[in-house]
Amino acid sequence: MNKVILMGRLVRDPDMRTTQAGNPMARMVLAVDRWKKDQQQTADFPSLVAFGYTAEFAEKYLEKGKKIIVEGRLQTGSYEKDGQTHYTTDIVCERIEFAESKGGGEPKKDEDEAGQDLNVPF
C-alpha cells in the first residue's frame, strides 16, 4: 500500500502549470514539523504535486502559510539534465483539506463562489 498523510504549512504559493495533455498541475512545498530524539523541533519539506480538480482547488484557495492536510501517494522518478541523472520524490495529492478555520474556505482572489461545496472528495 502506498499512502501518505501529512499536515503542515505551505512554504510558498502553488506553482501552476499545464501538462502536455493540457490538464492543470500545481507544484507545492509543505513544511512538516518533526521532533528529534533530543526533543528539538525541526521540519521536513516534501514536494507536492496535484493534478486536475485538486490542482485547480490549490490555485484558488491555497497560499503561502496556509495549514493543510494532504492525503496522497509517494512517487519517485528521474530525469536527465546536462548529462546528469536527477532523482525526484514527490507526494501526489489525491485530497487536500484545510487544517485550520482561520480564512479556510475563502478564495484567495475575489471570485463568485455561489454554491461551491468545499467538502467534496477529490
> Average pLDDT, whole number, for the chain?
88
CATH code at 4-93: 2.40.50.140
Q: How far is it, in rounded angstroms, from Cα 120 to Cα 122?
A: 6
Condensed to tens digits (0 to 9), the pLDDT of residues 80-122 reads 999 999 999 999 999 999 998 765 556 655 443 444 444 444 4
Residues 72 and 77: their CA atoms lie apart, in Å, by 16
Per-domain residue ranges for the chain?
4-93
- Cell numbers at 30, concatenated: 509543505
pLDDT band at residue 39 under the 50/70/90 scheme: confident
Per-residue confidence (pLDDT) for residue 120, from 0 to 100: 42
pLDDT in tens, 20-29: 999 999 999 9
In terms of DSSP bridges, do strands 84-98 and 47-51 run parallel, antiparallel, or are they unpaired? parallel
Average pLDDT over residues 59-65: 96
Poorest-confidence range of 33-37, 64-68, 87-91? 33-37
- The upper half-sphere exposure of residue 110, i.e. CA atoms within 13 Å in the direction of its Cβ, equals 0
**Please, which residues have CB within 8 angstroms of residue 115's CB and are 6 or more apart in sequence?**
none
pTM, to two decimals:
0.78
| Residue range 31-37: mean pLDDT, rounded | 91
